[in-house]
Structure 1
Amino acid sequence: MGTVIMHDVVSLDGFIADESDNVGSLHDWYFSGDTPITPIDDEEYDHSSTGSPFRVSRVSADYVRSMWDSIGTIVMGRHLFDMMNGWEGHPPAGDHVVVVSHRPKPEGWHPEASFHFIDNIDAAIAKAKELAGERVVAVNAGDVGSQVLAAGLVDEVAMDLVPVVFGKGKRFFGGIDNQKLLEDPHVVIQGERVLHLRFRVRA
């Protein structure tokens, strides 16, 4: 089975959004470089919700492209699914999405999309691994990510650390209340206005 990675873009003080789910300048680095993450005509992956192409520094493009290509399944919470309307059935990376939710998939919503709604963390990760095969399971940070980490189901933590301080908002590690030890970072890549970090979780 593939690696389970908890991942998101995060402020220096550990927030992935403000209290109203606005990301502010956290994602500016996605649009401030000169290198497309994917070919410019790849409309499925290379555009944000605003229609602007993702253009980052060369070093960030190489890292992000490799990361996205490795993903088989994304695991997300229902709040993010509702907020993004599930990317209209086309996730930014991977072929499958598992939504952790007590509510079922909306009736008639993109029946062709491989989106699976599961109300249990353990079952959600098991399904995500099954769908991903040898590829990566990418878990969105925040409340769901913290639950997966607390359950001991995360292999690595990946952060795109941005030099901004939020002060308050939605935490990368959600409401986790028990200490977790990580190894020294095995990936440290300095982009422009972002530092890419990856840590293995200690067993």
Structure 2
Amino acid sequence: MAKVVFGMTMSLDGFIDDANGSGALLSPNLEALDATGLMREAIDETGAVVMGRRTFEGASDPDSYADSYEFQVPIFVVTTHAPERKPKGNSRLHFTFVNSVEAAVEQARQAAGERDVVVVGGPNVGWQVLKAGLVDELQIGIMPVLLGQGQHLFAHLESTQIMLTKTRLVEAGQCTYIYFSVQK
């Protein structure tokens, strides 16, 4: 069965953006990331993507996903308001709009087969998937910067306790990626 993977990059003090809402200081050098093969590995292992509506709408043109999105796989968008017009797809990438993370993950798992389901974009859907106990692997990138304030990656988990086991550590440029399996 497909493994559900959620990951984000944060500052050393746990923020995913600064006080102005910008994550620019956390954007890893994509050339360094590509040089490690991590991105190619992620693309090869991904069978479906789950994202939130804000991430979906963050593309200047949703039709551009079919032509240029790195994950050319089925995409499941969690939203209570599907767009009036479905964006362009292709033979590998198409969109399905669902109203809960549970439904999105279940459909994504079916579409992915033995490959991974990757939860992408902002933290909101990631938090929901974590709280629902649906994440199998957590991937955290840590950039060597202290932001002091902003949005904490795990602030909205409240009193949820999730036990993790470290499985992998990879350095790519200035970013350190730590992979954890989620104990269930």
Normalising TM by the smaller chain, what interval?
Answer: 0.7 to 0.9
Match of 2:124 among 125, 131, 143: 143
Count of residue correspondences:
177
Change (3 A) 1:68 1:20: farther
Q: Counterpart in 1 of 2:100?
A: 120
Change (3 A) 1:96 1:171: farther
Q: Counterpart in 2 of 1:103?
A: 81
Q: Which range is displaced more, 99-108 or 188-197?
A: 99-108
Once residues 173 and 23 of structure 1 are traced to their aligned partners in structure 2, the CA distance between those partners, rounded to angstroms, is: 16
Once residues 150 and 118 of structure 2 are traced to their aligned partners in structure 1, the CA distance between those partners, rounded to angstroms, is: 22
Whether the 8 Å CA contact 1:105–1:116 is kept in 2: the answer is no
Whether the 8 Å CA contact 1:182–1:202 is kept in 2: the answer is yes
For structure 2, the residue ranges without an aligned partner over 5 or more in a row are none
Change (3 A) 1:130 1:162: same
Once residues 117 and 140 of structure 2 are traced to their aligned partners in structure 1, the CA distance between those partners, rounded to angstroms, is: 15
Deviations 1:59-109 (CA, angstroms, capped at 9, x unpaired): x52223212211111111111111224472233224121111001134153
- The SS at the match of 1:165 is coil
Task: Say whether residues 1:69 and 2:44 are aligned partners.
Answer: yes
Change (3 A) 1:22 1:103: same
Q: Which range is displaced more, 139-148 or 14-23?
A: 14-23
Whether the 8 Å CA contact 2:33–2:39 is kept in 1: the answer is no
Match of 1:182 among 157, 164, 169: 164
Aligned letter for 2:23?
Answer: V
- The SS at the match of 1:25 is helix
Whether the 8 Å CA contact 1:118–1:124 is kept in 2: the answer is yes
Aligned letter for 2:85?
Answer: E
For structure 1, the residue ranges without an aligned partner over 5 or more in a row are 31-54
Aligned letter for 2:104?
Answer: A
- The SS at the match of 1:159 is strand
Q: Which range is displaced more, 162-171 or 148-157?
A: 162-171
User: What's the TM-score once normalised by structure 1's chain length?
Assistant: 0.78
Whether the 8 Å CA contact 2:79–2:99 is kept in 1: the answer is yes
Match of 1:199 among 150, 158, 180: 180
Once residues 21 and 65 of structure 1 are traced to their aligned partners in structure 2, the CA distance between those partners, rounded to angstroms, is: 29
Task: State the 1:15 CA deviation.
Answer: 2.5
